[in-house]
Amino acid sequence: MRPPNDREFVERFAEVTGGRRPTGYVERWEQVVELCEEGYDDNLDEYWFDLGVRHGIERVLTDERLHGFPQLGWFREQVRELDERFRAVLSEQRMPARRELPWWEAYVPAWAGPVLAAELWSSYGVRVEVRES
């Protein structure tokens, strides 16, 4: 399916997201998902920061100003596919201190690079498999 290029949709999308484009959000979420599939190789603060793109995506998906646009269907489909890939790498263990957060923050990847794995253990008592990239 082709990305949306309808000017009105893109302008409204930018209003909702503070100037971002639909394809930019999809590409950034895909980058984060790929990093996690490989074994996220950065620290915990960067991991939480990178998940910020998914919060922006949720704002788009729930913003009534965009609901009348058929182009939102393209965006939803792209996000659905990436969300499935992301869910596939998440641990089944819910984070103890993050129960009230959205699913993408309530769980962490089942495997990670050594830095993130060590910080998950020291900060939350959560063990994940260490994968060196």
Q: Would residue 1 count as lying in a domain?
A: no
Contacts 24+ apart (CB under 8 A), 10-14: 12/65, 12/66, 12/69, 13/60, 13/66
Using one digit for the tens of pLDDT, what is the confidence trace for 59-105? 999 999 999 899 999 999 999 999 999 999 999 988 877 668 899 99
Residue 76 inside a domain? The answer is yes
Is 126 inside a domain boundary?
Answer: yes
Tell me which residue range forms the domain holding 65: 7-130
Assign 2 a pLDDT band (cuts: 50, 70, 90). Answer: low
Q: What is the pTM of this model?
A: 0.91
How many distinct structural domains can be found in the chain?
1
124, part of any domain = yes
Does residue 2 form part of some domain?
no
